[in-house]
Amino acid sequence: MGISISIFSFLLGTIVGSFLNVVALRYNTGLGIQGRSRCFSCNHKLGFFDLVPILSFVASFGRCRYCGSRISFQYPIIEAATGTLFLLTVYSFGFSLHTLYLLPALSLLLVILVYDLKHKIIPNGLVYALIAYSTLPLVFSFETHALNLPSLWHLLAGPILFAPFFFLWFVSRGRWLGLGDGKLAWSFGWLLGLSKGAAAVLLGVWIGAACSLLILAAQKWLFREGSQLTMKSEVPFAPFLILGFLIALFTHVDFFILTSFFEL
């Protein structure tokens, strides 16, 4: 892949990432995504030079040009993350229909990730949109560029990956986890197929468990008194599942490769 294509892919991703920040911040607030962007502190309309992805944040030293209030690091982080994901997708799958299909899916996953981090919930509107979008690989092959009937296992992949989350939700009456994580896993099954989808969920669970244990062990150095986490603390799980999805997508690891690794 040439340098010009790499630069274009990354820059396009940062522009999309700027839009994703707006969606994540305004979703379920009644504000909508239309209208000019404004500073959340002084309500001043932002101009073109305030909205250049990443560069505007750096040039303003992370502060509003009009009132001097601090701007969240979320903005440049999501812009850079989206740019990186677009670059990786084009590098991994080339300029193809598969790439064009994956980019909106990855964008939607990033919005879900940000929203879950901020509110500790996966909104139904976003995850149902992702599930609906993930039905396309069931009826269209990105390898042959033709319509096809899904295999039984691909069709069942979504419900199968959803089932363990539903069981835990049902047994705990929603105390252990919400159904949003299960719905997210459902979309993984249809986006990646059963084996890669299962690997994505398994990786997400392992990463989430490892990070949670590390935070619990090191929290006296990370947090002030009175803000410590416990085993009962609510932790957003979607970011870990999405990280597992990205690993499975870009490394092509599947469930059998993942489980055989531990048999060595």
Averaged pLDDT for residues 249-262: 83
Give the model's pLDDT for residue 57: 86
- As a whole number of angstroms, the distance between CA 243 and CA 246 comes to 5
Give the model's pLDDT for residue 230: 58
Give the model's pLDDT for residue 261: 67
The answer to whether residues 190 and 135 touch, using CB atoms and an 8 Å cutoff, is yes
The answer to whether residues 150 and 194 touch, using CB atoms and an 8 Å cutoff, is no
pLDDT of 24 strictly over 70: yes
Token pair listed for 206: 């392992």
Q: Where are the beta strands (DSSP E) in the chain?
A: 140-141, 146-147
Among 12-16, 201-205, 256-260, name the one with the lowest average pLDDT.
Answer: 256-260
The answer to whether residues 38 and 51 touch, using CB atoms and an 8 Å cutoff, is no
Reference 255, options 206, 203, 196, 201; nearest CA is: 196
pLDDT of 43 strictly over 70: yes
The answer to whether residues 196 and 253 touch, using CB atoms and an 8 Å cutoff, is yes
Amino acid identity, position 225: E
SS3 84: helix
In sequence order, the 6+-apart residues with CB closer than 8 A to the CB of 67 are 39, 41, 42, 44
Averaged pLDDT for residues 20-28: 87
pLDDT band (50, 70, 90) for residue 116: very high
Query: Is the model more confident about 124 or about 49?
Result: 124
The answer to whether residues 247 and 197 touch, using CB atoms and an 8 Å cutoff, is no
Give the model's pLDDT for residue 240: 95
pLDDT of 225 strictly over 60: no
Give the 3-state secondary structure of 195-238.
HHHHHHHHHHHHHHHHHHHHHHHHHHHHCCCCCCCCCCCCCCCH
Q: For residue 141, which phi and psi values (nearest 5 degrees)?
A: -95, 120
pTM of the predicted structure, to 2 decimals = 0.89
123-157 pLDDT per residue, tens: 999 999 999 999 999 999 988 888 988 899 999 99
Distances (CA, A) of 45 to 24, 27, 41, 182, 249: 19, 19, 11, 39, 39
Token pair listed for 8: 């274009």
Give the model's pLDDT for residue 229: 59
- As a whole number of angstroms, the distance between CA 255 and CA 81 comes to 26
pLDDT band (50, 70, 90) for residue 219: low
Most confident of 36-40, 46-50, 105-109: 105-109
- As a whole number of angstroms, the distance between CA 139 and CA 162 comes to 20
Token pair listed for 165: 């989350």
- As a whole number of angstroms, the distance between CA 175 and CA 185 comes to 19
Give the model's pLDDT for residue 174: 76
pLDDT of 37 strictly over 90: no
Most confident of 22-31, 149-158, 218-227: 149-158
Give the model's pLDDT for residue 163: 96
